[in-house]
Chain A
Amino acid sequence: MKRQLARRSVGYLWILPALVLLLVFVYYPIVENFRLSLYSWNAFRPVPKFVGLNNYQRVFADPVFWTAIVNNVWYAVVSVAFQVGIALVLAALLEGVVAPRLRGVLRTVYFIPATISITIVGLLFRIIYQPEGLLNAFLGLFGVESTRAWLGEQETAIGSVIAMSQWQNLGYTTMLFVVAIQRIPKEYYEAALVDGAGAVRTFFSVTVPLVREMTTLLMIVTISGAFLVFNEIMATTQGGPNNSSQVLGTWLYQSAFKNDDMGYATVIAVVIFVFTFTAALLQLAYSRLRRVEQ
């Protein structure tokens, strides 16, 4: 008994490294961020000065902040449409229509962009999107003469980055849906076949309900990811032209490390926290719910 107790208190040593790292590098800075959002400081005034909610007022009155939010929302909407909606259809087509031997090849090909660093993809698309780049050359094949600088014009900059992001990530979620579909017992499909259900009917009454869990999880993960977007923008437009493609992440970075306005940046961090924390809570609540249902 005594030995057992000794074992148990020694047990804390095992958990200590994880706790120390978490508290010092994850929890403390996030708590500190909330506190600092009430202060003003920069390189010239390294000692923070209490300013109350002034930073919040400045952020909410800033049109660039709202542009960033709208862009993040756009990112989320388009990403859910492609990486959840279209990815599910794509996975169902792969599993249901394509000859087994080809399936694996296509899935692998679709997944490849997801293994490549976003920076690489971003720099590549900078050239693809140039006036004399691949996209305009491609449009030319269909008789559409375009000299548009896709990333250089306010109307198309953020849309082009979002499109690139879909190109990169579609295969990743498709792969996850393929795994989910493969886990559906074959009997369901056989029953649908016997009942004379067509492919579309089978998709909606067998596949969709039985991958619902994956769909919900991916939706939450995708939305949460859309509010953390950073690298995609930095590697392509860096928020330009004229801040038209700023997102919360890049605007935070620019406020803190380019404009040297730390207090302002911490407020953006609080906003990002609210979005991603809510998404995480939803995810948690949902997986709890599923566990109770099962």
Chain B
Amino acid sequence: MSVTKLSADAVASRAVRGRRRFRITPLRVLIGVLLAALAVVVLYPLLWMAISGFKTNAELFGDAWGLPAQWRFSNYVQAWDYGVVHYIFNSLVVTVGSIVLVTLVSSFAAFALVQVRIPLGQPILMLILGGLMLSETVALVPLFRIMRSLDLYNTLIGIIILYTAFRIPFTTFLIRAYMIDLPTELRDAAIVDGASLWQMFWRVTLPLCYPILISAAILQALFSWNEFVFALVFIKDDALKTMPVGLMALQSKLTTNWPVVFAGLTISAIPMVLAFLFGQRHFVRGITEGLGK
């Protein structure tokens, strides 16, 4: 590697550290300006969406840059009344439901594989991890028949089950990798104390896995909150639609009233943006670990 060519003795030279100060050079300023411009390009459309939510149609299309003459909070109220609150609520239900179910079922599986060490663990592990290679779209058409015959079509529980099943391989992979590195002393102590597997799981293993469970939960939340294919195909009633599909319905209900649609979009965007801003550290940790998929 070319890195090693850069004199190794310099590595030892600690004196260098102090010298890495920030000098302002024209190039730095230029790059700074470019990066700031990119930040504007990223943020402005979102800000524009929120502001447009307060406008009238005429203002939105006549004067794209301007501020509304009058800030119409009524648009936001109207969007809320048009069902946005239901969509967000349904999304919350499937998100929380599938987080609980997938972390639990996957922790069970990882526990069996790592700590109980069931016979035939290796082929079973392969079977579970093999699921990582399969995607939702490929299963869509046959699932349509299966969901109907199991009476899970057009139900939130059906959606929760699908969100769980398709994320078991990844979540098990994540939790298992973490469980393998747990210290064995506590487990051995629990066995000596005559704890049952059930007690061992809840009192010893699961609490120790807390950090990885948080990461798993965040990744699952990002998935379920935004999932679209299953939510589109397997939910029919407007009252059961989750946010990503519901907003499409909102748009077709309000074909010409874009400011109200924008108000609805803004309301729907806020929960996840806030969650990210407040839990950024966990998000970053989660997505870094999540790269297995």
Task: Flag if B112 contacts A11 (CB, 8 Å).
Answer: yes
Task: Flag if A205 contacts B141 (CB, 8 Å).
Answer: no
Minimum CB–CB distance for A93 against chain B, Å: 6
* A186 nearest in chain B by CB position: B17
Partner of B105, one of A18, A32, A137, A192: A18
Task: Flag if B16 contacts A194 (CB, 8 Å).
Answer: yes
Interface range on chain B (Cβ under 8 Å from partner): 35 or more
Of residues 233 through 291 on chain B, the ones whose CB sits less than 8 Å from some CB of chain A are 233, 243-245, 247-248, 251, 258, 261-262, 265, 268-269, 272-273, 275-277, 280, 283-284, 287-288, 291
Q: How far is the CA of A124 from the CA of B64 in the complex (A)?
A: 13
Most buried by B among A110, A119, A193, A270: A119
Taking A11-B117, A26-B131, A132-B64 as contacts, is the C-beta distance between A190 and B142 under 8 angstroms?
no
Task: Flag if B10 contacts A191 (CB, 8 Å).
Answer: yes
Q: How far is the CA of A130 from the CA of B60 in the complex (A)?
A: 12
Task: Flag if A112 contacts B228 (CB, 8 Å).
Answer: no
Residues of B within 8 A of A242 (CB): none
* A274 nearest in chain B by CB position: B138
Task: Flag if A190 contacts B265 (CB, 8 Å).
Answer: no
Minimum CB–CB distance for B164 against chain A, Å: 6
Query: Is there a chain B Cβ closer than 8 Å to A134's Cβ?
Result: yes
Query: Is there a chain A Cβ closer than 8 Å to B70's Cβ?
Result: no
Q: How far is the CA of A6 from the CA of B49 in the complex (A)?
A: 61
Partner of B244, one of A30, A118, A187, A249: A118
Task: Flag if A30 contacts B141 (CB, 8 Å).
Answer: no
Query: Is there a chain B Cβ closer than 8 Å to A281's Cβ?
Result: yes
9 contacts between A and B (CB under 8 A): A11-B117, A22-B127, A36-B141, A119-B243, A124-B45, A128-B45, A253-B229, A269-B139, A269-B140
Chain A residues close to B by CB (< 8 Å): 7-12, 14-15, 17-19, 21-22, 24-30, 32-33, 36, 90, 93-94, 97-99, 106, 108-113, 115-120, 123-125, 127-128, 130, 132-134, 137, 167, 170-172, 175-176, 179, 186-188, 190-195, 197, 205-206, 209-210, 214, 217-218, 221, 228, 230-231, 234-235, 248-249, 252-253, 256-257, 262, 265-266, 269-270, 272-273, 276-277, 280-281, 284
Please give 19 more A-B residue pairs, beta carbons under 8 A apart, in addition to A106-B36, A209-B2, A269-B141.
Answer: A11-B117, A11-B197, A15-B124, A22-B127, A25-B165, A26-B169, A120-B265, A123-B248, A123-B265, A137-B64, A179-B284, A187-B11, A194-B10, A195-B7, A197-B6, A230-B228, A249-B137, A265-B141, A269-B139
